[in-house]
Amino acid sequence: MSLNPDLENRLRDLLGARLSVTAADRGEHARSESLHSAPPPDAVVWPETADEVAQILAACNETGTPVIPWGTGTSLEGHALAYTGGVTLDLMRMDRIVEVRAGDMQVTVQPGVTREALNTELRATGLFFPVDPGANASLGGMAATRASGTTAVRYGTMRDNVLALEVVLADGRIIRTGTRAAKSSAGYDLTGLFVGAEGTLGVITELTLRLHGQPEEVAAAVCAFDTLDHAVECVTATIQSGIPMARIEFVDAATARAFNLHSGASLPEKPHLMVEFHGSPVSVREDAESFGALAGEFGGQGFDWASSTEDRARLWRMRHGAYHASFVLRPGARGIITDVCVPMSELPAAVTAAAADIEAEGLLGPIVGHVGDGNFHTLLLVDPENADEIARAKQVATRMAERAIAVGGTISGEHGIGVGKRGLMAAQHGAGWQVMGDIKAALDPRNILNPGKLVADRN
């Protein structure tokens, strides 16, 4: 495909060199961290203001041209790929921290600010933004996929931490959703509707986020368990006991092996929990002791406490690197990643069933998880040349999702739908998926906003 010439001229007049149709720029915006792939977009634009985004969208809407928002390109379900051509809207030049309001524990940012850049800026304020999906993603992209990660068990997800948005609609109208008040009952929760909409309902051009006080005391530890069951049952017991965990992460024996091979760790090749506590010195000590006692009941052993900031940073860098580290277990493989999330009481059975299915299929699939939320991932390592193996891995992933749905869980805890999980939406939502399509049609009647993602194709 190539861009409508009138549209190209119009965008060129508006953006000058911030419109590109070169193969290099287009190819750079066809990257994907997962197995999903698509041809490059027809053009890439780099707007610098909401008004430019509005003019781009209005122009694309007139010609029915797809617009695909792009942040850091780290999404895992093909969200930012241009399956039907069109214009990729690279928002990374909109990277200004607009205003820090420390007294209200809020910040307003543009969508291209990354979470690490924000936290660097906040360091002196005593505040931080806790949502941490691992990748140094853009905050706009994190809002669009309703991201979460290791700290959601304590601080919530993007759903809980986005207070207000500026959004450009398909026809170029600019709206503001939400307020800077702590709560509001003034009409439909449009903020909540755009968070997690994956760029299919509008383009986020500004976000107001909740901040949190940097904890006075932090302690982190890793400990091993003899079996996967014991580790996961310990998690369920911990959450049910009400110990306020800041992080509680599971990694299986294969992942521990990957850490040893890839990250220079020296962990026993057993399932582990990695935990963190935030609070006052007194409360952190109490919480850590309570967790230690509980872990002991499930055979937790070899507690290794990371008390310095550097040790903790190393621990969580290793955990966040699990995705990349795991490829050491099968060089040359590609990964199919799963993302189910289930009620806490269902977690041990769900993880055990996933592990058994992977083993029964003779696949390699390390398991990690934000288990305090009931969310876990398997990284199914497949030979990209082996169609049969890929098919079997996809069946394992589908069965995992179907089991999650059957026990009241979800096919995606944090990665979103994109193209990768769209085939499972009807199974999870039934007629509710049609309602999502009805809302999409009302807000984007020409279907220009990230088409082919999340909702069903139109008839």
- 429-458 residues in contact with a copy of itself (CB under 8 A) are 429-433, 435-436, 438-439, 441-443, 454-455
Q: Is 425 helix (H, G, I), strand (E, B) or coil?
A: helix
What residue has token string 């976000």?
207
Number of Cβ within a 10 Å radius of residue 347? 26
Contact pick of 15, 223, 284, 425 for a copy of itself (by CB under 8 A): 425
Q: Are strands 162-168 and 203-210 parallel, antiparallel or unpaired?
A: antiparallel
Residue numbers 126-185 binding a copy of itself by CB under 8 A: 145-148, 152-153, 157, 159-160, 169, 173-177, 179-185
* Closest distance to a copy of itself from the beta carbon of 390 (Å): 23
Under the binding rule (CB under 8 A), the answer on residue 459 touching a copy of itself is no
- Considering only the stretches 3-11, 81-89, 358-366, 410-418, report the one whose residues sit in contact with a copy of itself under the rule CB under 8 A: 410-418
What gap in Å lies between CA 36 and CA 34, rounded to an integer? 5
CA distance 172 to 229: 52
CB of 198 to a copy of itself, least distance (A): 9
Segment interacting with a copy of itself (CB under 8 A) among 15-23, 266-274, 281-289, 325-333: 281-289
Counting contacts by CB under 8 A, is residue 373 touching a copy of itself? yes
Identify whether the C-beta of residue 407 lies closer than 8 Å to the C-beta of residue 346.
yes
Q: Which of 119, 125, 136, 283 binds a copy of itself (CB under 8 A)?
A: 283
Interface residue with a copy of itself among 7, 389, 415, 449 (CB under 8 A) is 415
Task: Tell me if 281 contacts a copy of itself by CB under 8 A.
Answer: no
Distances in whole angstroms, Cα of residue 231 to Cα of each of 161, 241, 260, 404: 30, 15, 19, 20
Binding test (CB under 8 A) with a copy of itself, winner from 161, 410, 447, 450: 410
Member of 339, 355, 357, 450 binding a copy of itself (CB under 8 A): 339
Among residues 1, 98, 261, 282, which is the contact residue for a copy of itself, using CB under 8 A?
Answer: 282
How far apart CA 232 and CA 153 sit, in angstroms, is: 15
The stretch among 81-89, 96-104, 114-122, 257-265 that binds a copy of itself (CB under 8 A) is 96-104
Choose which of 103, 264, 332, 362 interacts with a copy of itself (CB under 8 A): 103
Q: Interface with a copy of itself includes 240 (CB under 8 A)? A: yes
Task: For the chain, give percent helix, strand, coil, nearest 5.
Answer: 40, 20, 40
The 8-class DSSP code of residue 39 comes to P
Q: Which residues are CB-neighbours of 59 under 8 A, at least 6 positions away?
A: 7, 10, 11, 14, 65
- Within the chain, how many helices (H) and strands (E) appear? 17, 18
Q: Which of 122, 197, 222, 318 binds a copy of itself (CB under 8 A)?
A: 197
User: Given its phi and psi angles, is residue 430 left (phi above 0), alpha (psi -120 to 50 degrees) or beta?
Assistant: left
Identity of the residue, 167 or 364, whose beta carbon is nearer to a copy of itself in the bound complex? 167
The amino acid sitting at 191 is: T
Count Cβ atoms within 10 A of the Cβ of residue 183 and give its class: 0-12 exposed, 13-18 middle, 19 or more buried: exposed
Which is closer to a copy of itself, CB of 112 or CB of 374?
374
Q: Smaller CB distance to a copy of itself: residue 65 or 145?
A: 145
CB-nearer residue toward a copy of itself: 282 or 387: 282
